[in-house]
Structure 1
């Protein structure tokens, strides 16, 4: 495998669920190749470039401007109550859609999948979300093949994960894909996370499957 550092952009917004973005941020941020070099360059990006207040009032300062989403190799869309305000936001739709189409992979965590569904990015694909939001996902796009029992659903370029902590599993899954299984195993060991590629569903229905 050719070692190439990839750029990860994690979208943040008001009332984003903390672990939804912080879990992937930690996983990608600490992943190292055997040489010791970082496997990923990770940044958090808000829609207007300004700080956000995550769930429970945590203030988060973004690293990058909104236009930097388009430069991401991997786009992470977390969930939280703040997603509801963005489902019909035209600016958010344009930014996320453009970034997702340019990225090698887009990962939603928890109710981040509702944004992808509302923007038409999951049409005809399999997907999962937080167990309490499955009805919302179906309502946004009845054509989605919902997989409530899956922790991670991997359609190739578009991946969704279940509630909150499942974003760590999905991030390690992508580390394994892009940096190698050994890097993912070492990353999981370093953060002392019990990871065994559990609950990964790989449907063969996506025409963009890699």
Structure 2
């Protein structure tokens, strides 16, 4: 079964310094039917005003993937680690108990736009605290996976994340890694989605 949801159906927030669209329940937006999808807990698209920042806060043990769509961000933690990421890059933070994290739009005159995902992390796995990857803007790229296959970011969960770019009128075939999948359109829209079961030999 395929369930679709438009951007207009998502939760929204406008705090002046932050504009956000929430796919699942988050902050003030709550829908008991939308608490996440499998291990995917949060999927937000947010725009931070020039110079704006998220103050330090702690997180549950999750992997936080930030895909920078426009602008430049800086991330810091209470252990002294910091990293910058620009448009066209994906940044993975492996959060740790008791460690706080902050995010800052480095530009004084340009908004920062990014998509953020939270994935439940397996408590037994300890991955690098910070990983960064450049999106190649090719037709398809594996950007995160459990074992860091094909140069992808390494997750603490059995999840595979792909970035797919299609020109107008193009189509793509894609083999799923399991019985469930979630597809998010970042730019544009798609007209048709079809699932075909593989024949058993």
- TM-score between both structures, scaled by the size of structure 1: 0.29
Return the structure number with greater relative CO, CA threshold 8 A, min gap 6: 1
- TM-score between both structures, scaled by the size of structure 2: 0.30
Q: Which has the larger radius of gyration?
A: 2
Question: Which structure has the highest helix share of the two?
Answer: 1
